[in-house]
Amino acid sequence: MRSRPAPVPMSHPPPPPAGNFGVSFTQMANSHLRRAIAALAPLLILLLAQQPPQARAQGRQSQPPTPAPATTPAATPAATPPAQPQATPGGRGRGGIAGPGPAVGGEVDETPAVTHHSVTVGGKALNYTATVAQMPLKDAAGETEAHIFYMAYTLDGVTDPARRPLTFCFNGGPGSASIWVHMGGMGPRSPKLLPDGGMPPPPYELKDNPDTWLDLTDLVFIDPVGTGYSRAKNVEVAHRMNGVQGDIQSVGEFMRMYLVRNSREISPLFIAGESYGTFRAAGLAGYLIDRGIAFNGVVLIGTTLNLETIWSRSDDLVYELELPTYAADAWYHKKIAPDLQRKDLKSLLKEVESFSTGEYAAALSKGDDLPAAERKAVIDKLVRYTGLEARYIDESNLRFDVSHFTRQLLRDRHQTIGRYDGRLVGPSALNVGETSDFDPSSSLITPPFTAMFTNYVRNELGYKTDLYYFPLGGIQPWDYGVQNGFGDTTSLLRGAMTKNPYMKVMVVAGYFDLATPYYAVEHTFNHMGLNPEMHKNISWSFYQAGHMLYIDGDSHTKLKRDVGEFISNSLPKRDEQSRDR
């Protein structure tokens, strides 16, 4: 294991003996010189702090960094140069910011790690090749300005790539690596979780994924710049790529280069994105169709294309779109009215949807002019549908956001429900908080995923690096490209569907997902301006699960089945291809 360079300690001279006032001229001159240096030191430190961050990045350096001058005057003993990192067998670079912070700088080895494996799916052994590597992204001058880390799984023995689908996969965030869809849903190996997707006691275990998509399609998992092991050359590049446009352009360039380098231009192509990854996927479909790359299908998991439908509080639309998911979470935890509790979930949600866009929307639109009798009638129904107390709803002015609801629903049990998955709960040690202190649906899955991924990539796939893997937290402040508005890629997806009438879209939604509520997604697609023929190319799959629905055992299997049907329906039929020839 390479050791990090040890910091050079600042040396301070011992103070002069007390009462020693007799000094020579030389001593006086030295004293004035020392005071001058001390006065200039803060200015020198400020100038050094303003140097580009990449100049201060830790990593391999030909010379040790020069420490800032000490403010205490004295001759400083010669410092011992910091120890250089020791070579690690198979090591693939080190450097940049090590740990949470901007994922920039550092030394990256582009040599791929290639290994061969087998997994049993549906009673059939699949032999496949795993390739783990870094793809360089170059500027117009041909200089590498970033690297994108990726992991590709390709089925062995394929003789005709024109008949073998290829799917590019990623998560969202923005700022999330692809670890979740990779290890949780699509890849050949997964961490063992509890049946509902919760965290088992450590130490964690890895298992084969019987529902991997590998029997349906080759898979390429992408970590966009600033996530995983992907690195921008410096902060300036990171700022440009950490935004809606820069993200689409950099990931789009990666996809183009992967297709060219691996001769997969003629393969059936798919994108599978989750969360903000659906926002990215929609943008990529529109961006790449104008660059000659057309997709057979796009899979959207936990979808948001118009961020106004999940973030805006300037009007009442978001409250209306969140309400059905509040009801679903309350139903799951048996908090709604007894007669409603006896209904199946789908029947309940149809009733709540009708109320939400009808009576509830009308009441909210009246604002302070809402008559008292109407207000009471709406409050009574909200109590029935959400399980919240009438007083709480009244004092919230009939409006409560996700962070309040997830904290309030099980307050009587001293519990908080998850935002990503309302089924998962965590304890609330102090039962006085107005909003959630944490998201149990995130904290319960992060440790097993992170631990098993870093162990898997190093020990099973042979990719050894000392770089820090950023599941989250490595990007710059995200540039949404708007002011006083919200990001929106619906027009790019509409453009892709218009220019490529063969492209199909699959929308995957969990009923217990409060990060991207299913009703908000339906609203978005119903307001995209698509003609009836284009709507025929959209299929919907709903699950009694949360945002990362694949962590639930039953939904995991259902997703594989639904995706298999979608891919099959998105491929040209052989008789059509023969007729075209």
Q: What is the 3-state secondary structure (H, E, C) of 515-534?
A: CCCHHHHHHHHCCCCCCHHH
pLDDT at 445: 80
Query: What pLDDT is attached to residue 433?
Result: 83
Neighbour tally for 145: CB within 10 Å: 20
Torsion on CA atoms 260, 264, 267, 269, rounded to nearest 10: -60
Residue 107 per-residue DSSP state:
-
Lowest mean pLDDT among 43-57, 324-338, 490-504, 561-575: 43-57
Smallest Cα–Cα separation from 102: which of 145, 147, 54, 66? 54
Of 318, 314, 320, nearest in space to 363 by CA:
320
Evaluate if residue 28 carries a pLDDT over 70: no
CATH number 3.40.50.1820 is the correct assignment for the domain at 104-308+446-580: yes
- How much is the pLDDT for 446? 84
Spans of all domains in the chain: 104-308+446-580
Q: Is 569 exposed, middle or buried (0-12, 13-18, 19+ CB in 10 A)?
A: middle
3-state helix, strand, coil in the chain (%, to 5): 40, 15, 45
Q: Can you give the pLDDT at residue 575?
A: 53
Q: Can you give the pLDDT at residue 107?
A: 83
CA separation for the pair 530, 543 (Å, rounded)? 25
pLDDT in tens, 397-445: 999 999 999 999 999 999 999 999 999 999 987 888 888 878 887 877 8
Q: What φ, ψ does residue 19 adopt, rounded to 5°? A: 80, 5
Rounded (10°) angle between helices 345-355 and 372-386: 160
Q: What is the pLDDT of residues 521-535, one digit of tens each?
A: 999 999 999 999 999
DSSP designation for 245: H
Task: Give the per-residue pLDDT at 571.
Answer: 96
Whether 278 shows a pLDDT value over 50: the answer reads yes
Residue with tokens 């290890």: 183
Residue pair 496/286 in contact (Cβ under 8 Å)? The answer is yes
Q: 101 falls in which pLDDT band (50, 70, 90)?
A: low
Q: Are strands 504-510 and 538-543 parallel, antiparallel or unpaired?
A: parallel
Cα–Cα distance between 378 and 371 in angstroms, integer? Answer: 11
Assess whether pLDDT exceeds 80 at residue 125.
yes
Give percent above pLDDT 70 in the chain: 81
Could you tell me the CA-to-CA distances from 22 to 34, 62, 488, 546 in Å, in that order? 18, 46, 76, 79
The token pair at 117 is 């494996």
Q: What percentage of the chain carries pLDDT values higher than 90? A: 69
* Alpha helix segments (H runs only) across 97-231: 179-181
Rounded mean pLDDT, 47-75: 35
Using pLDDT thresholds of 50, 70 and 90, give the confidence band for residue 54. very low
Q: 325 or 90, which is more confident?
A: 325
Amino acid at 92: R
- What tens digit of pLDDT does each residue of 307-348 get? 999 998 888 999 999 999 999 999 999 999 999 999 999 999
pLDDT reported for residue 100? 56
- Among 160, 159, 183, smallest CA distance to 171 is for 183
203: preceding bond cis by omega (within 30 degrees)? yes
DSSP secondary structure letters along 446-478:
HHHHHHHHHHHHHHTS--B--SPPBSS--SPSP
Over residues 469-488, the mean pLDDT reads: 88
pTM across the whole model: 0.82
